Amino acid sequence: MKSPILALTLALCAGAAAQAATPALVIHGGAGVIAKEITPAREKEVRATLERALREGYAVLKAGGSSLDAVDKAITTMEDSGTFNAGRGAVFNHDGRNELDAAVMDGATLRAGSVANVHTVKNPILLARAVLDQSPHVMLVGEGAEIFARSVGMTPVPPSYFYTETRWRELQDALKEEREKAADPKTVPHHGTVGAVALDQAGHLAAGTSTGGITNKRYGRVGDSPIIGAGTYADAKCAVSATGWGEFFIRATAAHDICARVEYRGDSLKEAARAVVMDVIPRLGGDGGVIAMDDQGHITTPYDTEGMFRGWIDTDGTMHIAIFAEK
């Protein structure tokens, strides 16, 4: 039998170990950024939104909150902003509707929740979290996901909530090109997603991703963002959120592949993420990027497009925001 003093010492050591990690947070607002399309006003808006999302998510971590809560906070900030292709700024499908997808995963337990093809959910990432916390399932889609949202107290928003003039013009341009040039569907812009990965004080990782998909999409198309292992994945040692051409990230099970390379091959996080983003995905014919973090707080953000909206607060507490390659 352990003595009371020994038992207390062990308990204190265990508590200290659980609080040993230094929190960190990394977010993205989508890959595929083209320099000539970024006006000074657009860059200012993007940087302000990324900074706000980082500050709000990081505040959760500094207060002792969970990595899941920090991911939710950062992503809801981006969903609400109208700045990115998620939540209020989501793109329109071929029929002029918004179809929203999201997923979240807890690395400590491998619990996950995801939703796809929802139309009236203000914050899809919070619905994905509700699936994780309040249902026996991992993924809900369409009408069933909408019913579940109402059952957990989420008030639907009208379709007009998601409307932005920029996204509507993008759809009209895509439809015009389709009519006039018989455009190949594969040439339709396919980038635009938001995501977050966090490490909390307990040393637990979490990842989340939210998107409106691709402009002019048809037939209830679902990309990689809500698919666990493709666009979103977290385990005890590694967490990833992806952005890019979803069909190829699904085929490569990209997010899980990165973490598997860390776990089974002993690759560094940077090596693993770079191999998948710069070699595997392009070899299949796709492009995009990821944000990733390991359980030591190391962060990497590789992409093979011209740019990727991204930001992070590292274990030193320093904030970084970038769009194109760092100089």
Q: For residue 191, what pLDDT is reported?
A: 62
Distances in Å between the alpha carbon of 88 and those of 80, 114, 165, 191, 221?
Answer: 6, 18, 11, 16, 19
Environment class of residue 39 by beta-carbon count within 10 Å: exposed (0-12), middle (13-18) or buried (19+)?
exposed
Q: For residue 190, what pLDDT is reported?
A: 54
Q: pLDDT category, 178, cuts 50, 70, 90?
A: confident
Residue range 122-141, pLDDT digits in tens? 999 999 999 999 999 999 99
- 60-74, 175-189, 225-239: the lowest-pLDDT one: 175-189
Active site residues: 193
Q: For residue 188, what pLDDT is reported?
A: 47
| Residue 45: how many other CB atoms lie within 10 Å | 15
Task: Find, among 262, 226, 258, 224, the residue nearest to 244 by Cα.
Answer: 224
- 148-152, 178-182, 236-240, 315-319: the lowest-pLDDT one: 178-182
Average pLDDT estimate for 83-87? 96
Q: For residue 179, what pLDDT is reported?
A: 85
Q: For residue 192, what pLDDT is reported?
A: 82
Q: Quote the mean pLDDT of the chain.
A: 92
- 161-170, 178-187, 241-250, 286-295: the lowest-pLDDT one: 178-187
Residue range 204-231, pLDDT digits in tens? 999 999 999 999 999 999 999 999 999 9
Residue range 286-327, pLDDT digits in tens? 999 999 999 999 999 999 999 999 999 999 999 999 999 975
Domains of the chain: 20-322 (3.60.20.30)
Own/partner long-range contacts of 155-164 (Cβ < 8 Å, ≥24 apart): 155/122, 156/120, 156/121, 157/120, 157/121, 157/122, 158/120, 159/97, 159/98, 159/119, 159/120, 161/88, 161/122, 162/87, 162/88, 162/89, 162/90, 162/98, 162/100, 162/212, 164/82, 164/88, 164/89
Better pLDDT: 317 or 3: 317
Average pLDDT estimate for 142-159? 97
Residues 213 and 93 sit within 8 Å (Cβ to Cβ): yes
Q: pLDDT category, 15, cuts 50, 70, 90?
A: very low
Q: pLDDT category, 183, cuts 50, 70, 90?
A: low
Q: Is residue 187 pLDDT above 70, yes or no? A: no
